């Protein structure tokens, strides 16, 4: 197969912990041809979606991990699959990219994850479709509503709807002296909608990343345990990743959510679960594959490439 990966700048990718690299490595091991393109290289010429694309070879080196061939402009429909792995921010440029990729789909390209689903499943807001698995949650930009929610719950977490890696996530207590400034900062004085959730004390045992491939959960989650003094388990915020088997509750959440999202064209999903509660649904560029493989021997990347091969067959 010929597989094209839409990636962030290659020099920003750390091959020793990156899930996109893990997928490319597994695909190369099976003899598939790899290509890379970047968001800014997507274009529509006379209605046909094309991109500036480079063939890429993996060197096996930890840092100088790639070697690029000569760039060429190609139609996305020429590839067996196009894997959209661009990290957020989910800004208007990302939305425009989904427009281009959706048009490419209509021209015969197989895009993973489906572009319309990437737009529809905001990674924070989408949990509101599965309230049977969530703690009390509020989505608003109104100061009065956020203050009332805090007064009711006593201990909450506030987060922007378009963030990643734990950025701009705040914990507030009912008596916190910074309530006003936190709400003003996150909502931009009432101009930006945010999410508030009841604080989940089980975060001390880890924010579990559960990877689902084609609706099926990998057998191990990556529990991201906060460093001392932190309430965020994200690896980008200094959390420590510990692989562990799925609990019965983890599996119930994963199988229920996975069945719905699979029908909407989401082949690769990363659920965030704290304790027994679903907190986020990651669809843009879920990670954790390499840590799970290193600690358990189970190849989530292999599971993913199996699914890509089935989709392309």
Whether 176 is catalytic is no
Whether 174 is catalytic is no
Whether 280 is catalytic is yes
**Catalytic: which of 114, 159, 198, 208?**
159
**Catalytic: which of 113, 122, 234, 282?**
282
Q: Give per-residue burial for 128-150: e unless 16+ CB within 10 Å, then b.
A: eebeebbbebbbbbeeeebeebb
Nearest to 27 by CA among 94, 88, 79: 79
**Catalytic: which of 232, 250, 290, 291?**
232
Whether 124 is catalytic is yes
Whether 147 is catalytic is no
Whether 192 is catalytic is no
Report how far residue 22's alpha carbon sits from residue 178's, in angstroms, rounded to the nearest whole number. Answer: 42
**Catalytic: which of 86, 124, 198, 208?**
124
**Catalytic: which of 26, 123, 214, 280?**
280
**Catalytic: which of 86, 114, 198, 209?**
209
| Token pair listed for 307 | 């699914």
The DSSP output letter for 271 is E
**Catalytic: which of 18, 102, 250, 272?**
272
Whether 232 is catalytic is yes
Q: CB–CB of 49/42 below 8 Å?
A: yes
Q: CB–CB of 307/214 below 8 Å?
A: yes
**Catalytic: which of 224, 234, 250, 291?**
224
Whether 46 is catalytic is no
**Which residues are identified as catalytic?**
124, 159, 209, 224, 232, 272, 280, 282
């Amino acid at each position: 197969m010929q597989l094209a990966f839409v990636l962030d700048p290659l020099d920003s990718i750390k091959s020793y912990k990156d899930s996109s690299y893990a997928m490319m490595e597994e695909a190369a091991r099976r003899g598939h041809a790899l290509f890379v393109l970047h968001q800014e290289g997507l274009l529509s010429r006379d209605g046909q979606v094309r991109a500036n694309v480079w063939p890429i070879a993996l060197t096996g080196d930890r840092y100088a991990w790639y070697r690029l061939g000569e760039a060429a402009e190609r139609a996305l429909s020429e590839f067996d699959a196009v894997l959209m792995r661009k990290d957020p921010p989910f800004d208007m440029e990302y939305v425009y990219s989904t427009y281009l990729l959706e048009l490419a789909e209509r021209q015969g390209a197989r895009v993973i994850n489906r572009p319309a689903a990437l737009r529809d499943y905001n990674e924070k807001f989408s949990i509101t479709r599965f309230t049977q698995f969530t703690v009390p949650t509020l989505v608003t930009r109104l100061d009065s509503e956020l203050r009332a929610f805090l007064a009711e719950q006593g201990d909450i977490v506030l987060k922007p709807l378009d963030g990643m890696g734990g950025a701009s996530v705040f914990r507030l207590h009912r008596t916190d002296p910074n309530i006003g400034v936190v709400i003003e900062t996150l909502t931009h004085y009432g101009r930006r909608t945010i999410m508030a959730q009841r604080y989940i004390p089980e975060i001390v045992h880890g924010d579990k990343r559960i990877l689902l491939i084609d609706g099926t959960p990998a057998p191990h989650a990556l529990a991201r345990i906060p460093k001392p003094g932190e309430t965020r388990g994200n690896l980008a915020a200094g959390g420590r990743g510990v692989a562990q088997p799925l609990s019965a509750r983890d599996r119930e959440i994963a199988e229920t959510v996975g069945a719905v999202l699979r029908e909407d064209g989401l082949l690769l999903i990363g659920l965030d679960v704290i304790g027994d509660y679903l907190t986020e649904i990651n669809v843009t560029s879920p990670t954790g594959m390499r840590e799970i493989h290193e600690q358990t021997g189970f190849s989530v990347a292999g599971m993913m490439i199996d699914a890509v091969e089935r989709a392309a067959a």
